[in-house]
Chain A
Amino acid sequence: MSWPDRLPGAVAGGPEVDCRLTSRLAPRARKAADCGRQYPLGMRAVGRVLLALTAAASWWILYRSLEPFSNWLAYSFLSMADGSRLAAAVQFFIYEAPKVLMLLAVVVFGVGIVRTFFTPERTRRLLAGRRETTGNVLGALLGVVTPFCSCSAVPLFIGFVTTGVPLGVTFSFLISAPMVNEVALVLLFGLFGWRVAALYMGTGLIVAMAAGWVIGHLRLERWVEDWVRHTTTPTAPDGTVEPPSWAARARLGRDAVKDIVGRVWPYVLAGIAVGAGIHGYVPQDFMASIMGRGAWWSVPLAVLIGIPMYSNAAGIIPIVQALLGKGAALGTVLAFMMSVIGLSLPEMIILRKVLKTPLVVAFAGVVAMGILSVGYVFNLLL
């Protein structure tokens, strides 16, 4: 039995339903005793909101005190010399590690709740029969908020294309879903600031929209495996699944935190440790000559190296941290990161089950071109 099942709000069953009915019918002033040991709905909601506010306030206070605390720990408590390399590295790690993990927990919780509103079934209804351009934009945006795991790529693909979602729109979704995700954005925000995070999100969405649009216009439908086209997928009629309550949404959000943060924290710590090392020790322009802005071939090379590599967003951050810290150009590094997360050999092998080789190649080619342009545009502009 996991602890949330014992939360007062999480108890499902008779008395709670009765309580809701009576409190809705009767005036609010009616005594709580009418509902046995349960509080009336109004009281319970107020209690829950207060609890949430207290949690948010303590989170904020804790978050704000991380920096002074890390300074105190590094310079006063451990009495390291101000300005020494070791002190800088230690202070960086003590500050960044809890900061990024706290941000991650909050964002994953929020996104987990948002995702309870966007089931794949709902997304499919929103996308079915859409015309190209609008569909591509919507598909890429929905890719961010719809729950997605790369092992579901194939059933999602079949579920989409067999119910009238255009091929190009389906691809916009499938490209943005793994690439633009909350873990990548939090890590980029926490370690490199909001500009890098926003750039990554914006360009990731544009690549997904444009690549899906191009794939749609190449008229590649005949390269979808024949058995997929002959599959009829049963669809659950609307309204059969009742929407979850807010308590259930909060529980799903918390499950997401446990699941995702529980899985990625070692990578996050590794990334920050690498960052701390660079912060203290490595000269800034170490990588500048080979991956700097001047080397035009570095972008395609980064994309090519990235394709066979497979990693989730959290796993790639230590490498990104190292490359950026040693003077590699931002566009090159973003292209590398997108290529590792968005294009992977294992994913293509999985997609080969539903797509014939020419379509897999076209998919990889179009996305790679998109990523390439992102790399070049950034290196030119920044």
Chain B
Amino acid sequence: MEVTVLGTGCARCRELCEEARKAIDVSGVAASLVKVERIDEIVKFGVMMTPALVIDGEVKCSGRIPRMPEIVSWLTAAAARTT
């Protein structure tokens, strides 16, 4: 599974990265965390607000920092779908 954080490198984006990392650890899902900082890459996701979180190519949220439990629920749902 691929978890992607979209953000140009502001404090809020780093915070989202931290939450996502914690969520991956807690959920126990095998996932890689990628950070996309290039603006032309970010807009290809159709995202207008950063930070945004993408799981397996699907934009889960943008413009806010979801907290760890919420990310865990997305991760486990995505894991259940793939297996």
Contact = CB atoms under 8 A, between A and B. Distances in A.
Do A and B interact? Answer: yes
Interface string A182-219: 00000000000000000000000000000000000000
A250 interface: no
B40 A120 contact: no
Contacts of B13: 151
A255 B40 CA distance: 30
B69 A1 contact: yes
Interface string A94-127: 0000000000000000000000000111001000
Given A2-B67, A227-B40, A231-B43, A159 B48 contact: yes
A214 B13 CA distance: 34
Interface in A228-256: 231, 233-236, 252, 255
B46 interface: yes
B26 to A, nearest CB: 11
Contacts of B49: 120, 147, 149, 152, 155-156
A54 B8 CA distance: 42
Contact of A236 (B7, B10, B46): B46
B56 to A, nearest CB: 16
Residue of A119, A124, A147, A154 ringed by the most chain B CB atoms within 10 A: A154
A259 B65 CA distance: 10
A155 B40 contact: no
A350 B10 CA distance: 12
Contacts of B50: 149, 151-152, 155
Contacts of A227: 40
A234 B48 contact: no
A353 interface: yes
A5 interface: yes
Interface residues of A, number: 30
Given A151-B10, A227-B40, A124 B48 contact: yes
B46 A154 contact: no
A158 interface: yes
Nearest to A120: B48
B63 A159 contact: no
Contacts of B64: 147, 252, 255
A152 B48 contact: yes
Closest 10 CB pairs of A and B: A159-B48, A234-B46, A151-B10, A120-B48, A152-B49, A158-B43, A156-B48, A155-B48, A152-B50, A233-B46
Interface of B: 7-8, 10, 12-13, 39-40, 42-50, 59, 63-65, 67, 69
